[in-house]
């Protein structure tokens, strides 16, 4: 186990609704990244938070937003849900210092189904 936890495990929403997913990073880590993984595909980078600031963003619309808290835990919010948002949402935590990159450890994910 990585020490990265996510909640909830599963979630069912309907189109147009809003959802908040949560992630607790591994102890000692200061960076959280969020990924979307569609069925049968590799994870796709949504955005990353470093010391409570967004530190990079992938090709996702503004209705995907996030937060990082002082204890380095994080939330992913998705507004106006669409059917294509159905996926496994993964959170990964890591320790970053300057430009040094280190391994990212993933949580178990939240399975979101949009009906």
Partner 1 sequence: GESVGLHLPTLSVQEGDNSIINCAYSNSASDYFIWYKQESGKGPQFIIDIRSNMDKRQGQRVTVLLNKTVKHLSLQIAATQPGDSAVYFCAESSRGQAGTALIFGKGTTLSVSS
List of residues contacting partner 1 (CB under 8 A): 2, 4, 31, 33, 35, 41-45, 47-48, 50, 55-58, 90, 92, 94, 96, 99, 101, 103-109
Residue 110 or 114: which CB sits closer to partner 1? 110
Residue 15 CB, nearest approach to partner 1 (Å): 25
Residue 14 or 23: which CB sits closer to partner 1? 23
The torsion defined by the Cα of 32, 37, 43 and 47, in degrees rounded to 10, comes to -40
CA distance 71 to 90: 19
CA distance 20 to 13: 11
Query: What three-state secondary structure class fits 35?
Result: strand
Residue 17 or 113: which CB sits closer to partner 1? 113
């Amino acid at each position: 186990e990585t020490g990265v936890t996510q909640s909830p495990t599963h979630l069912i929403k309907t189109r147009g609704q809003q959802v908040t997913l949560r992630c607790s990073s591994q102890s000692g880590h200061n960076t959280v990244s969020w990924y979307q993984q569609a069925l049968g595909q590799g994870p796709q980078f949504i955005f990353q938070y470093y010391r409570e600031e967004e530190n990079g963003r992938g090709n996702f619309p503004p209705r995907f937003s996030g937060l990082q808290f002082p204890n380095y835990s994080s939330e992913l919010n998705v507004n106006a849900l669409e059917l294509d948002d159905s996926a496994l949402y993964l959170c990964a935590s890591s320790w970053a210092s300057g430009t040094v990159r280190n391994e990212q450890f993933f949580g178990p994910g939240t399975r979101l189904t949009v009906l």
